[in-house]
């Protein structure tokens, strides 16, 4: 049984994007095939909660080879998309210097699939922020209302 959702994804206004892909580029260094985060719906500073999205396009680099005839978005890319949402939040803080890289992944569980044509909605809650030492977020991914993955990621400045 999946855990309680960090938020009710039905309440997200998907027609309103607060941070565009171009604005994400101003903070996150990811480019080309690895710019996985397509937009951010909102960032709630008070609750340290955010939601963004990654569209699984039919021409994405992974479609042809993972898995031929039945393409599935690799789990590692789902995690990376969540990491890019969290890195935007952390690296966009006033005075931040450096790059937020992976420090760890814990209790990640996959509960569904993402296929070309799906919109992966990513929700993250920053549960620990220690500047350059350690930044920890609970993350969940949804296709529609179905939770397709959940877990915890840790970022460290490198």
Active site residue 66: yes
Count of beta carbons in the 10 Å neighbourhood of residue 147: 22
Q: Provide the residue count of the chain.
A: 158
Residue of 5, 23, 60, 66 marked catalytic: 66
Q: Report the distance separating Cα 124 and Cα 7, nearest Å.
A: 9
Active site amino acids? 66
């Amino acid at each position: 049984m999946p855990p309680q959702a960090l938020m009710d994804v039905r309440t997200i206004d998907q027609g309103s994007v607060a941070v565009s892909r171009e604005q994400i580029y101003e903070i996150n260094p990811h480019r080309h095939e690895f710019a996985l985060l397509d937009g951010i719906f909102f960032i709630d500073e008070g609750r340290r909660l955010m939601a963004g999205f990654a569209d699984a396009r039919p021409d994405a680099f992974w479609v042809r080879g993972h898995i031929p005839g039945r393409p599935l978005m690799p789990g590692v890319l789902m995690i990376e998309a969540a990491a890019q949402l969290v890195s935007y939040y952390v690296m966009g803080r006033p005075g931040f210097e450096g790059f937020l890289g992976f420090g760890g992944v814990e209790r990640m569980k996959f509960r569904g699939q993402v296929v070309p044509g799906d919109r992966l909605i990513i929700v993250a809650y920053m549960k620990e922020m220690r500047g350059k030492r350690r930044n920890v977020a609970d993350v969940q991914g949804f296709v529609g209302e179905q939770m397709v993955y959940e877990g915890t990621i840790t970022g460290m400045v490198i």
